[in-house]
Amino acid sequence: MGWLKHVLTPHSHDPADSMDAALTSSAQGIRAVKISLFGLGVTALFQLGIVLVSGSVALLADTVHNFSDALTAVPLWIAFLLGRRKATSTYTYGFGRAEDLAGLFIVAMIALSAVVASVESVRRFFQPQPVQNLGWVLAAGLVGFLGNELVAMYRIRVGRRIGSAALVADGVHARTDGFTSLAVVAGVVGIWLGFPLADPIVGVLISAAIGVLLWGTVRDVGRRLMDGVDPRLTERLACALKEAGYPGASSRLRWSGHALHAEVTLPVDNTVTLEGLARKTHNVEETVRRTLDNVGPVTVVPRFHTA
């Protein structure tokens, strides 16, 4: 039950597993986006064909959501491409924030799919239509689950490797979609058992699941745009600095795309030599990079005080 709650509940992962060069990680992200776009596109097209011959509103809701999930790969693709560009005199910090802006498009697509699915499901309550070819509908639901789960595993693995929270969140999104596809299977079973309203009821349930996912995505995107990070990262860094002999140091972290920016304020004696200050600064930066992965720029700010 704990594992099921973990995969179904929208939640945030500020991933920090391994560090690659910026260009390499962006290339891996683009490759993951291309493959997942193809995988979900094929899955959704197969389901759409079954919708046309069956008239299942539950499968239609699932298909619409799978199409929207596939389309979320497009802004991520653009964001990864922009993230590879060098900083300019206007965008002096580079273009890493493009990934965070892509999250806004993801939110819009999820909201649109929720509205379309719910409206169509409610309409079928008042204008019921028979669902045909139930065996194919069942097969389409199973294909939707398998397609989404394979894409989710791939997105999450690559996202954690390169430190892209947007790609990891999109993987969790795909995994949740897979379980909504299983709900289509439940609708087919309900019709087989003599309960024809099972199809629009499952469509409404899928719409509600999309709404829950929408809230979780809005929360995650909002936290990123507000420079929020997982509190465990700041706690881990504080402990590491203390163990390294800098108990008075304070730090701030923020994500820019899939790079973690760190700023450490380091108390130093005002009698320290330039050589000693450079050594301390180097040690602090090395401590940050050993403690946290996917670290980009590290700024060490000395705070002088009298011994």
Domains assigned to the chain? 2-225 (1.20.1510.10), 231-305 (3.30.70.1350)
Name the residue with tokens 């058992």: 193
Q: What per-residue confidence (pLDDT) applies to 8?
A: 42
Confidence at 59, pLDDT banded by 50, 70, 90 = low
At residue 256, what are phi and psi to the nearest 5 degrees?
-130, 100
Q: What is the pLDDT of residue 287?
A: 93
* Per-residue pLDDT at 237: 93
Average pLDDT over residues 156-181: 75
User: What whole-number distance in Å separates Cα of residue 92 and Cα of residue 107?
Assistant: 27
Q: Is the pLDDT of residue 12 over 60?
A: no
Burial class (CB in 10 A: 0-12, 13-18, 19+), 96: buried
> How confident is the model over 100-133, as pLDDT tens digits?
787 787 777 777 767 776 776 777 677 666 656 6
Higher pLDDT, 166 or 15: 166
Q: Is the pLDDT of residue 190 over 60?
A: yes
List the one residue out of 38, 183, 174 whose CA is nearest residue 110.
Answer: 174
Write down the pLDDT at residue 24.
52
Query: How does residue 286 score in pLDDT terms, banded at 50, 70 and 90?
Result: very high
Which pLDDT value is given to residue 103?
76
**What pLDDT shows up at residue 235?**
92
Judge whether residue 6 has pLDDT over 50. Answer: no
pLDDT tens, position by position, 243-277: 998 888 999 998 877 778 899 999 988 888 888 89
CA distance 241 to 202: 52
Mean pLDDT over residues 123-152, rounded? 75
Torsion of CA 240, 242, 245, 246, to 10 degrees: 110
- Tell me: pLDDT of 7 over 60: no
- Cut 0.75: pTM above it: no
Give the mean pLDDT of the chain: 76
Long-range CB contacts (within 8 A, 24+) of 34-39: 34/73, 34/77, 35/154, 36/70, 36/73, 36/151, 36/154, 36/155, 36/170, 36/174, 37/70, 37/73, 37/74, 37/77, 39/147, 39/150, 39/151, 39/154
- What Rg do the C-alpha atoms of the chain give, in angstroms? 24
Write out pLDDT tens, residues 63-101. Answer: 776 776 677 777 777 887 887 788 888 888 788 788 778
Q: What is the pLDDT of residues 192-251, one digit of tens each?
A: 787 777 767 777 777 787 777 778 778 877 887 888 888 888 999 999 999 998 888 999
- Name the token pair of 99: 């990934």
Of 45-49, 226-230, 296-300, the one with minimum mean pLDDT is 45-49
pLDDT-derived band at 149, boundaries 50, 70, 90: confident
